[in-house]
Amino acid sequence: MLQHRLRSKIAKICIIGLGYVGLPLALRYVEAGFRVIGVDIDQSKIDLLSSRKSYIEHIPSEKIEAASHCGFEASSNFSRVAEADAIILCVPTPLNKYREPNINFVIDTVNAIKPYLRENQIVSLESTTYPGTTEEELLPRVQESGLIVGENIFLVYSPEREDPGNPDYETRTIPKVIGGHTPACLEVGIALYSPAIDQVVPVSSTKTAEMTKLLENIHRAVNIGLVNEMKMVADRMGIDIFEVVDAAATKPFGFTPYYPGPGLGGHCIPIDPFYLTWKAREYGLNTRFIELSGEVNRAMPEYVVNKLIDGLNENGKALKNSRVLVLGIAYKKNVDDMRESPSVTIMELIEAKGAKVDYSDPHVPIFPKMREHHFELASVELNVESLVSFDAVVLATDHDCFDFELIKQHAQLIIDSRGTFRESHSHIIKA
């Protein structure tokens, strides 16, 4: 019986997609005592894992080494699915250029594993997506060969909840929401996740679980949009929005502090709201509140660049032909994750206006290959000589490793989009 195999940890787990979500999950299952196969179409990842090396900064290679000794295998061969009792999909779900959902990675993956599905397996989708994806896209494909979901194969949706670089939470300690296509699916899903996750939160359906993930990230996107708009109003009035948020945060009830920044980044918050706005149109609804926050947040990189232009003008310089250093190009502090980073948009805007742009980010030594952005650059080492050589520096991501005192003393002009420099200085402009 599948539930027994899962609860007794004799089941084999196959995790497809070994990125910032899939790899930590694979390592957690190994740690919990399961045999794990990791599958990814990126052969470079498979080669590194097979060499017992990590490609994610906050996951040390020692963890890959330890997992390998416990039987963890990495492969690009989808036929390995046939060996597994549980298949967990952790593949990307980006937006297309029209900001509409692109679930081709999900569909292509399900199509690739279809020939290898068999009785007494469970398939779990963790990729963020619109409500109805599991029922509309996975269910018919899983049943195509005659298997019956809820009887001899099981289907669940359990949204990923990862926060790279957050030392307070790890895969094991973050509660796991799960919805099954049938009650039997839910029971097997609970048996799948309970041995590896401290708290499993069952909900009534896959649609509910899909909507839960969207609400979590829309909540953040809308509140960040609100505080970014408040930042622009406060700036026009000569008020420091960071001081305002700090003061408001002393209220012990009814207020949650959100801080403004140069825009939204990461694999969830800039993308997930548009999965719901797209699906809502099918029901004749317009999600105006969500879309407005998206407009505000997408405008932030341009707002930062306009502040840069103003600052250079005050120094008698034009942005064109100036040398500008962007500090921090990961989407959040203390990680190497570049997905949807507003820093990259800022770099492109600066370059498009004729300036020479460089970046400094110890977490990203070489600018990586990205689907939509490309710079042939390496991280600039921060020292007195490098700082004084730039006409301006733009603080986009406030990594703890930056020497902010050095930056304050030697940068000619600082555009601070993170509220790092709280005291007023003539050469620091808050953005």
Residue with tokens 């017992």: 52
- Per DSSP, 159 falls in state -
Residues identified as active-site:
268
Residue with tokens 């999900």: 106
What are the structure tokens assigned to 53, written together?
């090396």
What are the structure tokens assigned to 387, written together?
């700082």
What is the arrangement of strands in the sheet containing 86-89, beginning at the earlier edge strand?
73-75, 35-39, 12-16, 86-89, 121-125, 153-157, 176-180, 200-203
Residue 407 makes CB contacts below 8 A (sequence gap 6+) with 327, 382, 387, 393, 395, 414
Instruction: State whether the Cα torsion 329-332-335-341 is positive or negative.
Output: negative
Q: Tell me how far apart the terminal alpha carbons of the chain are, to the nearest angstrom.
A: 59
Q: CA–CA distance from 47 to each of 10, 56, 72, 112 (Å)?
A: 27, 14, 14, 21
Contact status, residue 420 vs residue 400, Cβ threshold 8 Å: no
What are the structure tokens assigned to 402, written together?
């930056």
